Amino acid sequence: MTLSNESPEVRNEPALAGTGLSDKWSHVDACLNEWLVPADPVMTEVLANNSRASLPPIDVAPNQGKLLHLLAKIQGARSILEIGTLGGYSTIWLARALPADGKIVTLEYDPHHAETARQNLSRAGVSHLAEVRVGEALVSLEQLYAEGAGPFDLIFIDADKPNNPDYFKWALKLSRPGSLIIGDNVIRDGEVANPHSDDPRVQGVRTFLELIAAEPRVTATALQTVGSKGYDGFVLAVVTA
C-alpha cells in the first residue's frame, strides 16, 4: 500500500525493540484479529501472492484494513481515491465497502506492483469496482482533475511521504464538503515530533500535518497506534467547506 516502494528497511520499526513491548503489541493484534477480523482465505492468498511477487511486506495489518473498510462504510462512500496501491490489499478492503455501482481509483508508480494488484483485485472479485492507474501519482492526480474526476467521498493517502503535502493539495481539489481524507504512517516511530529530523519522509509528514492544521476547509485529528506494524499512526480530516 505504497507508491514509493518503501522497503522493509525504511518502514517504521517497533519502538523499544528488545523490551518485549513489540511482541506484546503483535500478540494483542493477533487476538483482536481472531475476535473481530475473521480469517479470509482470499486475503491470505493476496498477501501470499504479494510475497511471491517480491513486494515489500508493508501492507496494512488486517485490523487496520478492517478500519479502512468501516470508515468507508460509515462515510457511505460511493467513490474512493487511493494514492499508493502496492499489491492492492488495502484497495480490496476499501472496494468491499463500496456499493455495486461504486468505484475506487488507485494510483501506483511501479508497473510490477500494479500488475500484482490487478491479479489480487480479480482474485477478490472486485476488479469491476477498481481502476489501477500506473505512473507518478502527481501526474495521475493532475490527469484525474483534468478529466473532471471526483469529487471523491474518501481519499486515502499512503504513498511516498515527501510528496504528502502535494497529495493533500490535490486531495482538496478532488474532494467536496463532507469528503474524508485519511493519511497513513504519520507518526514515523515518534520522529514526527522532531523538527530537526533529516529524514525527508519525516519532514514530508510534518509539512503535511502543518498544511492540514492551517487549512480552514478541513477539521482533523491524528492518532498514534501500536501493533504488529510497529509504532505509527494516522490522520483523519473531514472537508468542511
d(CA 168, CA 218): 11
d(CA 138, CA 125): 28
In the predicted model, what is the mean pLDDT of residues 84-111? 98
Amino acid 185 reads: N
Confidence of residue 110 (pLDDT cuts 50, 70, 90): very high
> What would the pLDDT profile of 9-47 be if each residue is shown by its tens digit?
333 333 444 457 889 999 999 999 999 999 999 999 999
> What would the pLDDT profile of 145-160 be if each residue is shown by its tens digit?
999 999 999 999 999 9
8 A C-beta contact, residue 43 and residue 89: yes
How far is C-alpha 154 from the chain's CA centre? Answer: 11
User: What pTM was estimated for this model as a whole?
Assistant: 0.92
**For residue 77, what is its C-alpha cell?**
462512500
8 A C-beta contact, residue 160 and residue 108: no
Smallest CA-to-CA distance from 53 within 42, 45, 61, 63 is with: 45
In degrees and rounded to multiples of 5, residue 227 shows phi and psi of: 165, -160
